[in-house]
Amino acid sequence: MTKLSVNINKIATLRNARGGNVPDLLKVAADIQRFGGQGITIHPRPDERHIRYQDARDLKAVVTTEYNIEGNPQHNFIDLVLECKPDQVTLVPDAIGAITSSAGWDTIKNQEYLTEVIQEFQRNGIRTSIFVDPILEMIEGAKKTGTDRIELYTESFAHQYSLGNEKGIEPYTKAALLANELSLGINAGHDLSLDNIKFFKQNIPGLLEVSIGHALISEALYLGLDNTVNMYLNKLK
């Protein structure tokens, strides 16, 4: 079964919009795990507009499943990850001020830098994953960095699927087959939803984990958080 890690950035966004501590981020994280979620993902950004660095520290005591911290490995982020020591760190090439992630790493151009960062995290017992587009050369480049896993950036698939174009999955299937050959673990995320997750899962051999935030939290407004988490789990079986 593919694991479901729930990104709780949107919960922090809602909390920060009003000030105070409603909704309680830590309680939501605990509840998601109680409902069956198999991991908690956060993506702190330098301006702390949703997840704050202190949230990352506080969640360490709450997450009993898998703790995944995403972000651009700049100095402050690296220091935070080494302090929190999550189960997994996902390296994402976000530009400062970006609304959301918009591209994977150029693992060839940034190979030396990524290798250095990955080695530091691995020395501290933290599993590493690199956010990549479904481009075979980028998968091969990821392997050369020594990363444990890749995370396929799925925005293009989700867009094509919404248009009725199921062939949009083909680059992802090819990327997954290559990753399997190279003994790279496969994660995926971005714009995956209840509408497309089952089809994606069925066509990605060796898919270990999906990280879903915006769609899941939005769907939960109508369906309830407990129900939504379990709907995802059923589609991932």
Residue 100: the pLDDT is: 53
Residue 96: the pLDDT is: 57
Residue 94: the pLDDT is: 76
Q: What's the mean pLDDT when you consider all of the chain?
A: 96
Reply yes or no on whether 70 is catalytic. Answer: yes
The fourth-level CATH superfamily of domain 3-236 is: Aldolase class I (3.20.20.70)
Q: Is the pLDDT of residue 72 over 60?
A: yes
Reply yes or no on whether 190 is catalytic. Answer: yes
151: phi then psi, degrees, rounded to nearest 5: -120, 115
Q: What is the arithmetic mean of pLDDT over 32-52?
A: 96
**H or E segment to which residue 55 belongs:** helix 53-59
Residue of 43, 50, 209, 219 with catalytic role: 43
- At 52, the pLDDT band (50, 70, 90 cuts) reads very high
Return the SS3 of 90: strand
Query: What are the domain boundaries of the chain?
Result: 3-236
Reply yes or no on whether 75 is catalytic. Answer: no
Residue of 66, 190, 209, 219 with catalytic role: 190
Residue 103: the pLDDT is: 82
With CA atoms as reference, report the closest residue to 177 among 208, 204, 210. 204
Q: Is the sign of the CA dihedral 130, 132, 136, 137 positive or negative?
A: negative
Residue of 66, 70, 151, 209 with catalytic role: 70
Whole-model pTM?
Answer: 0.95
Residue 147 neighbours by CB under 8 Å, 6+ apart: 91, 114, 118, 128, 129, 130, 184
